[in-house]
């Protein structure tokens, strides 16, 4: 089922998705895996695994306990409105 088409006089809603970030998070502390056994409280310095399967594989390989996979997807939305030229 496709979305209904908008007319020229209507508005359009557009959503874009930024790249997905995938983290391992230690559940008791909320800290994120950084690298080489280090943990950080900041998502900005956490290691991005890019896929859930890569995060899972790393958690198993490192024998990490009490961790969860966090997938962060940000959606940005904006509206466009058609302005008609009515002989101005």
Q: How far apart, in whole angstroms, are the C-alpha atoms of residue 72 and residue 17?
A: 11
- pLDDT score, position 35: 86
Residue scoring higher pLDDT (40 or 83): 40
Residues 43-69: pLDDT tens digits?
999 999 999 999 999 999 999 999 999
Contacts with 49 (C-beta within 8 Å, 6 or more apart), sequence order: 22, 23, 24, 55, 58
DSSP state of 7: P
What confidence category does residue 12 fall into, taking pLDDT thresholds of 50, 70 and 90?
low
* Percent of the chain predicted with pLDDT > 90: 55
- pLDDT score, position 78: 64
Q: Which helix (H) or strand (E) holds 35?
A: strand 32-35
Mean pLDDT of the chain: 81
Cα→Cα distances 82→2, 5, 38, 70, 79, Å = 22, 14, 52, 39, 10
Cα→Cα distances 12→2, 18, 31, 58, 80, Å = 15, 20, 40, 42, 5
């Amino acid at each position: 089922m496709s979305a209904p088409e908008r007319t020229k006089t209507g508005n359009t809603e557009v959503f874009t998705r930024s790249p997905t970030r995938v983290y391992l998070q230690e559940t008791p502390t909320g800290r994120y895996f950084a690298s080489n056994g280090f943990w950080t409280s900041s998502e900005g310095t956490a290691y991005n695994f890019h896929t859930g399967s890569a995060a899972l594989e790393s958690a198993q390989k490192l024998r990490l306990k009490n961790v969860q996979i966090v997938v962060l997807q940000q959606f940005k939305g904006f509206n466009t409105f058609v302005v008609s030229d009515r002989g101005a």
